[in-house]
Amino acid sequence: MKRKGILLVVSGPSGAGKGTVCKELLNRNDNIDLSISVTTREPRPGEIDGVSYYFTEKDDFKKKIDEEAFLEYAEVYGNFYGTPKEKVFEKLESGRDVLLEIDIQGALKVKKIYKDGVFIFIVPPSMQELKSRLELRGTETRESMINRFESAYREINFVFSYDYVVVNDEVDLATNKLEAIIEAEKCRVHREKNFIEGL
Amino acid sequence: MKRKGILLVVSGPSGAGKGTVCKELLNRNDNIDLSISVTTREPRPGEIDGVSYYFTEKDDFKKKIDEEAFLEYAEVYGNFYGTPKEKVFEKLESGRDVLLEIDIQGALKVKKIYKDGVFIFIVPPSMQELKSRLELRGTETRESMINRFESAYREINFVFSYDYVVVNDEVDLATNKLEAIIEAEKCRVHREKNFIEGL
């Protein structure tokens, strides 16, 4: 019998480097798919439907909300973004692991619907380091940087709703930890029920 | 602040190969200590006190039972065997991981006392393979082999009291899984509380 894939839900404050770690994880692992979000915002130049996002109209998006077609969704600056439930579940059923890189509010919603998910919170090694990273980006005003820093502080409290915390000191090491978590989770007794009963 | 070590409790039916896997795990990892049992049985030639076992007298052992000095103990063929609580806890406090390779009854007792332990059950890839392995040993009578096989069948039901099940197909791969479990467990949010609060 085929083993179900694992739903990995990864969040973390901005500056923690979750994007880089997730990218490295996907590069290394052929069996993990990044979940592609549905959005109502306009495609930007170069964005391809079904690759960057699934682009759709607001009416259609709202219909899908009513049909409970999303694992989670949110409205940001007037545009909707959502994680399509069926696509994710299909992949999991076929044995592929699926990575959701989403914000904390989204992750908490997913947790309510899909308890079998593995919830991972990525943090910087220290708040000082987070500050340096935000400064290094250099793309932001002082005010928006202070905002980000303060919201990172607030966000870190949500780590206790997650299963794992991964300290992103070095991208390679943090990615190793994610891989270890996946391998360990595949040995969890409740996931191996079918195999055990087969014995 | 120093992180506490992890208590690894490893069990499995005979023929699953848990001894070999545990040995390989210890060979690879300097930070893991095998817990040394206390016993009232006579030392055999070559056995050194404090290395193979801590050898002690029956009276002393019984006194220690009354003092609740054991994480678990059992009487086997008139001899007592026990896991010394204080020694294990000292190591864990100092940040070292401790490996207990014990039978299911022992593991269930440890689970009651020390919920923070990581309980791992090692199984053969199939019952056919287990049978072959028992036959290969060639050291047993047909009757004792059938006994072992039947008790393996019964024992496998206890896997649901454990956290993880590791299929021992190849020793190297099974050891990799144990290492992944340890690395993942070190990322568990409840174990990283001090670090998170430090942030």
pLDDT tens string A14-27 = 888 999 999 999 99
Cα–Cα distance, A184 to B7 (Å, whole number): 16
Give the pTM.
0.92
Residue A139 has pLDDT above 70, yes or no: no
> Measured between beta carbons, which residues in chain B are less than 8 angstroms from residue A15?
none
Residue A49's pLDDT band (cuts 50, 70, 90)? very high
Give the mean pLDDT of A84-96: 96
The residue among A119, A115, A114, A40 whose CA lies nearest residue A73 is A40
Closest to A71 in 3D by CA, of A105, A23, A20, A120: A105
Closest to A71 measured CA to CA, from A49, A55, A92, A52? A92
- The confidence score (pLDDT) of residue B35 equals 96
- How much is the pLDDT for A57? 96
Contact residues, chain A, for B3 at CB < 8 Å: none
Give the mean pLDDT of B4-33. 94
Higher pLDDT, B52 or B162: B162
- Residue in chain B closest to A160 (alpha carbons) equals B189
Contact A183 B188 (CB under 8 A): no
Residues forming beta bridges with residue A97, ordered by sequence position: A32
**CB hemisphere CA count around A196 (13 angstroms):** 24
Nearest to A187 among B166, B189, B199 (CB): B166
Pinpoint the alpha helices (H) of chain B.
18-28, 58-66, 85-93, 104-113, 127-137, 142-156, 171-185, 193-198
Give how far the C-alpha of residue B120 lies from the chain's centroid of Cα atoms, to the nearest Å. Answer: 8
> Within 10 Å of residue B113's Cβ, how many Cβ atoms?
12
Question: CB neighbours of A113 closer than 8 A, spacing ≥ 6?
Answer: A71, A72, A85
In terms of pLDDT, which residue wins out, A57 or A146?
A: A57
Report residue A130 as tokens: 């987070």
Q: Which tops the pLDDT comparison, B134 or B8?
A: B8
B189 interfaces chain A, CB cutoff of 8 Å: yes
Look at residue B160 and tell me whether its pLDDT is greater than 90.
Answer: yes
Q: How far is CA B14 from CA B17, B80, B137, B149, B155, in A?
A: 7, 21, 11, 8, 10
Identify the residue among B130, B163, B189, B194 best suited for mutation to test binding to A, counting A beta carbons within 10 A and taking the highest: B189
A36 and chain B in contact, CB less than 8 A: no
Q: Determine which of A73-77, A178-182, B126-130, B177-181 has the lowest per-residue pLDDT on average.
A: B126-130
Tell me the pLDDT of chain B averaged across its residues: 92
Q: What mean pLDDT is predicted for residues B79-88?
A: 96
More confident residue, B89 or B198: B89
Best B162, B165, B172, B191 residue to mutate vs chain A (most A CBs within 10 Å): B165
Residue B132: the pLDDT is: 85
Write the residue in B126, B179, B189 that is nearest to A199 by C-beta: B126
- For residue B8, which of A171, A71, A187 has the smallest C-alpha distance? A187
Beta bridge partners of B68: none
> Which chain B residues are within 8 Å of A162, Cβ to Cβ?
189
Query: For the residues A40-63, what does the mean pLDDT come to?
Result: 94
Q: How confident is the model at residue B133 (pLDDT cuts 50, 70, 90)?
A: confident
Going by the DSSP 8-state scheme, the letter that residue B27 receives in this structure is H
* Per-residue tokens: A135: 């400064």
Instruction: Please give the pLDDT value at position B148.
Output: 82
- What is the pLDDT, as a whole number, of residue B2? 72
Nearest to B165 among A176, A180, A189 (CB): A189
Q: So what's the pLDDT on residue B139?
A: 67
Confidence check: pLDDT of B199 > 70: yes
CB < 8 Å to A156, chain B = 196, 199
Looking at this protein, which amino acid is placed at residue B151? S
Mean pLDDT over each residue of chain A, to the nearest integer: 92
Which of B29, B163, B32, B20 is CA-nearest to residue B100?
B32
